[in-house]
Amino acid sequence: WGWAFAAQWRCWTISNKYPALGVLLALSISAVGGDYSNLEEEDKVMSCAACGIAEDDDIELKTCTACKSVRYCSVTCQKEHRSKHKRACKKRAAELRDEILFKQPESSHLGDCPICCLPLPIDHTKSNMMPCCSKIICAGCEYANFVREQEAGLKHTCPFCRHPMAKSEEEANRTNVKRAESSNDPAAIHRMGARCYNEGDYESAFEYFYKAAGLGSVTGHYMLSTMYRNGPGGIKKDKKKELYHLEEASIGGHPTARNNLGCVEEENGRLDRAAKHWIIATKLGDDIALSSLGVRYTRGLVEKDDYASALRGHQAAVDATESPQRDEGEAYFKLGRDLIALGYGEKN
């Protein structure tokens, strides 16, 4: 209010001294309805929220990292203003977090196949991560590369980087370890964690997942959330950390993490937030989230328009991952897995 009064006072004094200019100012004020709220907000951003000093060449204001809505000239001013700002800061920080959390990702955490550039299916049996370059290749491109090599009598190499493929699981593991140590690759580090987890070495797995998550691995965040929830191998359970890593994985486009986050919200009685998470996961092509959403729709907990939109989004996500080449590759590799399961041939 004080800022608006000061502006009006200046306009009055100018009008008395320069009548013609006063008319223009009056027209300008009437055009915006005399609303100075935007000016007040700008004034807050351009000055220290505690002492009111304005930013200039000698004074650089620092923005509050939590709410992004106020600035301070020093740490001292920030500490002094903390008691007055705490409630508004916490509220605005939560709003900003939700804006990021409930934004629909363009694709899943897997992204696109680097060869055909089509979105990768979230079904892990339809793609394969190369231990040499950590690239995830769809079944269609891997099959096309295999056919090309067979027809030309070439050695089996990675479809992406052309590195000779490992002849055994042990060799693939050594290649993965070498890449993780030499290039600090989050995907390779996560794969080492997954191997430790499957072998029951949960302490080492936790360390690998934590490092991978710190380097930007979405699946690293997801695995940390499961370990904080279940507490395997003496890992201390922590609901707060579980929720944090679920949110980070969900923001990164992990559909299973998003579905689990919906279940957590439902457990806490926040059904509106749970439905939003399931809708987002469904639009990423997740079948489990689609089933969860369908059950809640039949109970009247989800609006018809929201459910219909999620169904359309699910179908569009699935269609985007399909191609004739992928159909051939998926059928070929499925046949191979079935034969191995029946005892025909050996698993490489």
∠ Cα 340 341 347 (to 5°) = 35
Whether the Cβ atoms of residue 38 and residue 45 lie closer than 8 Å to each other: no
| CA–CA distance, 159 with 127 (Å, rounded to integer) | 12
Flag whether pLDDT at 253 surpasses 70: yes
Tell whether pTM > 0.85: no
Instruction: Find the helix packing angle between 304-320 and 287-298, rounded to 10°.
Output: 160
pLDDT of residue 32: 44
Mean residue pLDDT across the chain:
86
Sign of the torsion formed by the C-alpha atoms of 58, 64, 70 and 72: negative
Spell out the long-range contacts of 267-275 with Cβ–Cβ below 8 A and sequence spacing 24 or more: 271/296, 271/301, 275/301, 275/302, 275/306
Question: DSSP per residue over 181-239, as a string?
Answer: HHH--HHHHHHHHHHHHHTT-HHHHHHHHHHHHHTT-HHHHHHHHHHHHH-GGGPPP-H
Query: Tens digit of pLDDT for each residue in 276-313?
Result: 999 999 999 999 999 999 999 999 989 999 999 999 99
pLDDT of residue 38: 45
Query: Tens digit of pLDDT for each residue in 179-197?
Result: 887 888 999 999 999 999 9
Sign of the torsion formed by the C-alpha atoms of 60, 63, 69 and 72: negative
Q: Fill in the amino acid letter for 188.
A: A
Whole-number Cα distances in Å, 98 to 92, 93, 95, 108:
10, 9, 5, 19
- Cα dihedral 301/304/310/314 (nearest 10): 110
Mean pLDDT value across residues 35-64:
73
What DSSP element (H or E) covers 292? helix 287-298
What DSSP element (H or E) covers 63? strand 62-63
Query: Tens digit of pLDDT for each residue in 126-183?
Result: 999 999 999 999 999 999 999 999 999 999 999 999 999 988 888 888 888 888 878 8
263: confidence class by pLDDT, cuts 50, 70, 90: very high
CA nearest neighbour of 258 among 218, 212, 313, 217: 218
Whole-number Cα distances in Å, 310 to 250, 266, 276:
17, 19, 10
Strand partners, 128: 137
- Cα dihedral 43/48/54/60 (nearest 10): -120
Strand partners, 261: none
Mean pLDDT value across residues 262-268:
93
